[in-house]
Amino acid sequence: MYQPRNHLFLLAVLALSGLSGCQQDKTETKVENIRPIKTITLKAKTQATEERNFSGLVSPANSSTLSFEVSGKVIEIAVDVGDQVEAGQRLAAIDDEPFKLKVQSAEADFKKAKANFKHSASDYERKSELAVKGYVSASDLDSALAQRDAARNQEAMALSQLNIAKRELRKTVLKAPFGGYISKRLVEPHQEIVSGQELLQLDELEEVDVELMLPENVIGHLKHGDTGIASFPSLQGIHVEGRIDEIGTLAETANTFPVSLRLNQRPDSLYPGMTAEVQLSIDHGEQNEGFLLPASAIVAGVGTGSGRHFVFVYEPQSGTVGKRQVFVAGGQRQMARIGEGLKAGDIVAVAGVSFLSDGMKVRLLDDNRD
């Protein structure tokens, strides 16, 4: 009777142990491994912009090619390339002796015409008085009137010629129309020149532009006043902001359009002709608006060229994430721009998406508002 009792006791202990083990297994299977996820909550769509770089050349905002308005022999050039000049400063001169002689001749002609008019006017007044008394015929009076009017016209013409001669004499001295720097000198002293022949180039360096040639798919997205950032390969570490000042409407080489960016300031070491790199924000308009998401939120779809990809959107009611197809419309500020598939208020997973699956139970790690 002793051994059977021990055997029954052992069986009871084993049975209880097995029952306890089953209960532990059932308890462990009820504990779910809920993955924490990092999310952002989408707000309003952002306007589609794209940062692009273009090469250009620095040029003076105000530049003028200077020339004489009269022909003659150059007797003086008072400046050289690189000289800084002030407005009104004497730059060059041509031989003024022939022009002085023309002034003297014009003055003599004017004096003669003036005296002739005075005599004709007096003769007409005298004959007018005699005509009243009947001593001068009507035809003689008309002739005196015609001579007086012709003399008046001759005097006016002589005065015009005198003024022209004086003006040409003044134009024998070339003065700076504005302050700046001499960038070109094309004529030497004692050289015969003709009116309009290029002599000097004067650049105003207080303001400078960067001249760009932009493709046709960009020009329509720019407007006057848009900002850009200019940097210069020869001037390390210098960046200058500017605004678009001119936009050409006629295509030039390779179907590109001229655009001028006026810099807000000119560094001392920056000169016309230097190379510049300009970063412009291209606004693609409302039709390309979208939500900005980090690349870590995107699950690449098959055939990436189509722009069809996926994101995981958190569903607060069920505590799960759902896989949603989206259209990636481009990039902006190192972020992906989602053009279709999302709406304001969506809570999107932005990290660890490769470990998520459609319908997976998750909990929010944090919630950074976009």
Q: What is the dihedral of CA 227, 233, 238, 243, to 10 degrees?
A: -20
Q: Max CA-CA distance within the chain?
A: 188
CA-to-CA distance for 293 and 353, rounded, in angstroms?
Answer: 13
CA-to-CA distance for 259 and 242, rounded, in angstroms?
Answer: 12
Please return the burial class of 191, using the count of CB atoms within 10 Å of its CB with bins 0-12, 13-18 and 19+: middle
In this predicted structure, the answer to whether residue 7 has a pLDDT above a threshold of 60 is no
Query: How far is Cα of residue 262 from the mean position of the Cα atoms in its chain?
Result: 6
Q: What is the pLDDT of residue 66?
A: 96
Can you read off the two tokens belonging to residue 37?
């996820």
Angle at which helices 138-170 and 97-133 cross, to 10°: 160
Question: By the 8 A CB rule, do 254 and 302 touch?
Answer: no
Residue identified by tokens 């001119």 is 246
pTM tops 0.75: no
CA-to-CA distance for 196 and 126, rounded, in angstroms?
Answer: 52
Percent of the chain whose pLDDT exceeds 90:
55
CA-to-CA distance for 311 and 230, rounded, in angstroms?
Answer: 37
CA-to-CA distance for 207 and 308, rounded, in angstroms?
Answer: 48
pLDDT one-digit tens code per residue, 295-319: 888 888 765 455 578 999 999 999 9
For the ranges 3-12, 45-54, 107-116, 316-325, the lowest mean pLDDT is seen at: 3-12
